[in-house]
Amino acid sequence: MTSTFDASWGLLALASWGVADYLARSNAARIGSNSTSLLVQAIGLVLPLAYLAAVLPGSDREVDWATLAYAAPLAALFLGTGYAVYYRGLHVGSVSVVSAMASAWLLVSVLIAVLFLGETIGAGDAALIGVVMGGIVLLSVQRTTRHGTSTGTGYGVASMLTLGAAFALWKPLTDAGGPALAVVLVRTLSSVGLWVFMRLAHSKVVLPAGGHAWRLLLWAATLDALGYVAYNVGLDRAPLTLIAPLGAAHPVATVALAWWLLRERPTRTQALGIGVTVAGVIVLSAMSGA
């Protein structure tokens, strides 16, 4: 029987990811999206490593290193790109629009699983995919906000595609080595890969200047990592159909913070698109879990 405490792990993931995304926007404005992505993932390894150290001694799981050898680098490539693009979108575009569009990565993951991994979906899932796509279309109709600035639609779509590809590989990764090892391995490779890319592009890693900027970065990294840990702990304690929708609802927290602190006011069409997309993703997450 699932207790309220077990379900609270999903709520913790929702709040952690939602606030982390908002804080990442502030960091990207100060040090750039690539540096923010690299530092958030690198610093955020502390919690997953601690979680892995806690669960590894009592685990009798056999690790499939052959699967990890090909799936982890691919997932890391897509995850690192997705983070950098997403943070760039949050910086230059509308937080509400970009976060809502990026949340549709679940749709991409489902489509990849169906087209390439041999999984099947029912009529209900297919209908919900259509609903989410309709929400994305609504978000794409208007490329500017009420104030005439860019909504960042292109970045939202790009992050949706890259994050969707990364998380489509999550199932074979967790099957091969467990969720804790998957998180640590992919985030480590993603950080290293992004650092190599920045070196080849002659782009320096910019560090925050001042105590306030460092606190923002540390909070963003800690909360982002906490979201992953809470989500995985929740999956161990409660049904996927409960935890997955709560995790998928994290853009609600990001949009609420943008509305409250940034005074973002989407147009009616954009607000409808945000609502349709996020609601469709939440229900699709629940049905996919079932």
pLDDT means per 10 residues, the chain with 290 residues, are 66 91 91 93 90 77 89 94 93 90 87 81 82 85 73 92 89 83 90 93 91 93 90 73 76 88 85 89 73
Helices (DSSP H) in 93-178: which residue ranges?
95-102, 105-116, 123-141, 153-168, 170-177
Q: What is the pTM of this model?
A: 0.86
Tokens of 285: 């997450």
How many residues in the chain? 290
Number of structural domains the chain divides into: 1
Classify each residue of 40-53 as buried b or exposed e, where b means 16 or more C-beta atoms within 10 Å of its C-beta.
bbbbbbebbbebbe
Give me the phi and psi of 77, to 5 degrees please: -60, -50
Domain of residue 43, residue span:
4-57+65-289
d(CA 11, CA 15): 6
d(CA 183, CA 259): 31
Identify the CA nearest to 181 among candidates 83, 53, 43.
53
Which pLDDT tens digit goes with each residue over 88-122? 999 999 998 999 999 888 888 888 888 887 777 78
Helices 211-237, 33-43: inter-axial angle, 10-degree rounding: 50
